[in-house]
Structure 1
Amino acid sequence: MLDIAKLAGKIPGISQHFKAQVTASYEKLEQSQIILQEIQAKQQELIEKHETWRDHLIFSVAIPVEPLNTCITINAPPYSHSVFATDGSQIAPSHHEIAYCYLINVGRIMLHYGQNLHPLLDSLPEVYYRPEDLYISKQWGIRTEEWMGYRRTVLEAEVLAEMACCWVQPPGAHYDPNLAMVDGSLIYWFLDGLHYEARDRILPPILSAWEQLQEARIPFMGYVSASRSTEAVNFLRLYTCPFDNPNCGSYCLDLEEKQAPCQVIEPLRDTTVWGQLLQPGQRGPLWRSSLRILDLYGEEQHIYFCYVNVGTEIARIEIPAWVAQDSTLLEQALGIMLGQVSKGYGYPVALAEAHNQAVIRGGDRVRFFALLEQQMIRVGLQNVGTSYKEARKRGSIA
């Protein structure tokens, strides 16, 4: 039990710390606006510098594909359109339960506007209990709980593609604009540290699902709320580098990243800087991410992003290259996304509903294991039950 009286004594120090951070951020923010003004005429020069010195940088830099002062008002969504979304949740395996297995539940949402059609709101559960599901990741040093999360990412992409593509098949038969959405980033950082055999079981099926969406011309995006990314801000660091060439390995290798001389506007995030430039309903410039892991995605699935003032926050919108390079699909996707945020009172309603369909609550977990226990007893298994530790925790008198 948390002792609130003892905790209260620690709160004033925390609030003073954050107050000092906010004051410093305001000063950095003013400086960032000055830098943005100065580098607009040197944007191409900095892009070329990055191309030359990319391998010598110790930080990741996104490359703008539009002028840095781009502020484009997003059009309203079309009257008739459809939105597809998925999200996932899981029950982690535990040796204290009646069976060592895990469950992934993927929420599916299909909403139609201006078409007089019924929506789809449901979920698809998958249970993994075979040894090849539970222990295959051990050979690569990956815990089962982590592997479960990776498998969930795959299922979300596969279910989304299947649902959306089945709706528009045969190709060209359905002409109303569409949008497929997932919650979170499309840049899967965790892949970078995985053994190549493990990575080959995760990334190819995701890319295959994206290719299905591409063939059906259904624009696809990842909606990132409260983004902490600094990829775009790092482009400004190329300008603030005091050396003729941004060779971090030669000049700053012995320094911590926060002590690097180019960190004159640290710790600002992209959303903070572009939040000062964008009005509600506007997007900033498109950026091409240069993270190394994206080299595995292929050119057409390479990730681009932009920041959008959705009214309640500055959201990071990530899209594959084939959407970013098609102005019609891009405009369609952003318009529908903004409409979803409006309908969801600050967050896309399709994503919120996908989460609600996917989420596994305490009662759901109890019912799942109760059903499993009944079936195990029915087939004649003996001594079925939770561990004494788990039983004691559930029956605590404290």
Structure 2
Amino acid sequence: MLDLIKLARQMQGISQHLSLEAAAAQDRVAAARGLLTIASTRQGELVEQAQTWGDRAPFTAAQPQEPLTVRVPVAAAPEAHTVIATDGSQISPSHHEIAYCYLINTGRVVLHYGQGRFPLLDSLPEVVYRAEDLYLSRPWGISTEEWMGHRRTVAEAVVLAELGEAVQEALSTGQTSPAPVPLLALTDGSLIYWFLEALPGEARDRILPPILDAWERLRRQQIPLVGYLSASRSGEAMNFLRFAACPFAAPDCTTHCGANGEEQSAVARSDRAPCGGFLPLRDATFWATELNPGERSPFWRSTASILDLYGDHRVYFCYLNVGPEVARVEVPQWVMADEGLCSRALSLVLTQVQKGYGYPVALAEAHNQAVVRGGDRTRFFALLEQEMIRAGLQNVGTSYKEARKRGSIA
């Protein structure tokens, strides 16, 4: 139980701290705006420097694909369109439960607008209980709980591709107008799977190829894929401005700021670096001061090292002012390369946010379909217990520790 009286004592002074942080943030935004003005006049030169010296920098800096002064208004979506989305949830494994297993639940949503079609709102559960599946990741030093999260990521991508193919076929069969109905595939979160960088190659090969194969299936159907990030904490775009702020002729961070051990290398990554006067500043915070509602920023090419394995699916992103916030919108390279497809995808995203009062309605519904609530968890283990008893197993029940936690005598 939370002691609110003790907590209130620790809250004293937090408002003053937040006020000081807000004032400092305004100063950082002003500094970044000045650097953006400089960078826009030297953009080609700075991009070349980023390409040449980026591997020696202790930070990841995205590269702009359009002029930094670009602000593009995004049009509203056509009345008739379709949006599909998936999201996942799980019941984690526990040795204190009646059986060591876990469940992945993938929510599926198909929303048709202006077509008179019924929506699809459901979920696909998958129970993992075999030892060869539960302990597959142990030789790579990956816990079962962590591997379950990775498998959920794969399930979301694969189900999204299957859904896209089925919906595209249904739309093509029932099409009455000559113009095809625009279709969008939405996923919650980043398309850049940063966690893969830390995985052994053999483990990574179990995760990334199925995801890229699912994206390729969407590509063949000409269904644009978009990753939507609300309250993004990324600073990739702002890191590009560090090249404009570098006081050295050659922005070689390793030589100038990181050659004297870990302490100086840490300085190179922080706001104490010669180029870090506007840090820490998030991309979304900066672009919120630059974009009007309904406008997007220039597109950027992410240089995350894991994307070298993505092939034609390398990720590009922009920032979109959806009204209540500035969201980061990510697309694969093949969406970015097709101007019509990309514009259509952004218009459908903006319309989804408007329909969802600040967040894409398809993603919100996919989450609601996927989430496993307390009652669902109880019913899951009740079904499992019935099956175990029916199979003749003895002493079926939770551990004494779990039983005491659920029914305190205090």
Smaller-chain TM-score bracket: over 0.9
Q: Distance in 1 between matches of 2:308 and 2:31?
A: 33
Give the counterpart of 1:387 among 387, 399, 404: 399
Superposed, which structure 2 residues align to 1:348-363 within 5 Å? Answer: 348-363=360-375
Residue 177 of structure 1 pairs with residue 182 of structure 2: yes
Q: Hey, what's the Cα distance between the residues in 1 that align with 2:318 and 2:395? A: 56
1:380 & 1:28 partners in 2: Cα distance?
67
Structure 1 residue 14, shift from structure 2 partner: 2.7
Which SS does the other structure have where 1:83 is aligned? strand
Deviation at 1:42, TM superposition (A): 0.4
* Aligned residue number for residue 70 of structure 1: 70
**Structure 2: any 5+ residue segments left out of the alignment?**
259-263
List aligned pairs for 1:65-144, cutoff 5 A: 65-144=65-144
Please state how far the C-alpha of 1:13 moved relative to its aligned partner: 2.8
Q: Quote the offset at 1:172 in angstroms.
A: 6.3
Q: SS at the partner of 2:13?
A: helix
Matches within 5 A, 1:188-207: 188-207=193-212
CA contact (8 A) 2:38 2:244 kept: no
**Residues of 1 paired with 2:309 and 2:202: CA distance?**
14
Query: What's the secondary structure of 2:105's corresponding residue?
Result: strand
Deviations 1:237-278 (A, max 9, x none): 001011111111111112422121110100111011111110
Residue type of the alignment partner of 1:286: F
2:67 maps to amino acid: P
Asked whether the 8 Å contact 2:183–2:223 carries over to 1, the reply is: yes
Indicate the percent of aligned positions where both proteins have the same amino acid: 60
Whether contact under 8 Å (1:286, 1:304) holds in the other structure is yes
Q: What does 1:1-398 correspond to in 2, within 5 Å?
A: 1-169=1-169, 175-253=180-258, 254-256=264-266, 257-258=269-270, 259-298=272-311, 300-398=312-410
Instruction: Assess, with a 3 A threshold, how the Cα gap between structure 1 residues 111 and 170 changes in structure 2: closer, same or farther.
Output: closer
Structure 2 residue identity aligned to 1:27: D
Between 1:64-73 and 1:210-219, the stretch displaced more is 64-73
- Counterpart code for 2:302: S
Give the deviation of 1:91 after TM superposition.
0.3
Task: Supply the AA of the counterpart residue of 2:326.
Answer: I
Question: Could you state the TM-score of these two structures normalised by the residue count of structure 2?
Answer: 0.95
User: Partners of 1:172 and 1:356 in 2: how far apart?
Assistant: 29
TM-aligned CA deviation for residue 283 of structure 1: 0.5
- Whole-Å separation in 1 of the counterparts to 2:314 and 2:201: 19
Alpha-carbon distance between aligned partners in 2 of 1:35 and 1:314, rounded to the nearest angstrom: 20
Deviation at 1:31, TM superposition (A): 1.4
Please tell me whether the aligned partners of residues 171 and 216 of structure 1 are also in contact (alpha carbons under 8 angstroms). Answer: no
Report the residue type matching 1:161 in the other structure.
A
Q: C-alpha distance in 1, partners of 2:345/2:280? A: 31
Any idea what SS the aligned residue of 1:227 has?
A: coil
Q: Is the 8 A contact 2:57 2:253 kept in 1?
A: yes
CA shift at 1:178, angstroms?
0.2
1:108 aligned partner, one-letter code: R
| 1:51 Cα deviation from its structure 2 partner | 1.3
Q: Which moved more, 1:100-109 or 1:174-183?
A: 174-183
Distance 2:244 2:36 in 1: 10
Aligned to 1:262, what secondary structure does the other structure show? coil
1:211-237 Cα distance to aligned partner (Å, 9 max, x none): 000000000000000000000000100
Q: Measure, in 2, the Cα distance between the counterparts of 1:38 and 1:377.
A: 72
C-alpha distance 172-62 of structure 1, shift in aligned 2 (>3 A): farther
| CA displacement at 1:17 relative to structure 2 | 2.3
Letter in 2 for 1:34: G
Give the aligned residue type for 1:93. P
Could you report, residue by residue, the CA deviation over 1:284-335 in whole angstroms, capped at 9, with x for unpaired residues? 100000110000000x200000000000100000000000110111111011
1:150 CA drift (Å): 0.2
Worse-superposed segment, 257-266 or 347-356: 257-266
**Aligned-pair distance for 1:18?**
2.1
In structure 1, the residue corresponding to 2:206 is in which secondary structure?
Answer: coil
- Give yes or no for contact 1:242–1:261 (8 Å, CA) kept in 2: yes
Verify the 8 A CA contact 2:294 2:320 in the aligned structure 1. yes
Unaligned segments of structure 1, at least 5 residues:
none
How large is the Cα RMSD of the aligned pairs? 1.2
2:404 alignment partner AA: R
Q: Separation in 1 of the partners of 2:118 and 2:63?
A: 42
Please report how far the alpha carbon of residue 171 of structure 1 lies from its aligned counterpart in structure 2 after TM superposition: 10
**CA positional deviation for 1:74:** 0.5
Alignment deviations for residues 341-365 of structure 1 (CA, whole Å, 9 cap, x no partner):
0110000000000000000001100
**Quick one: structure 1 residues 78 and 171, their matched pair in 2 at CA, closer, same or farther if it must change by over 3 Å?**
closer
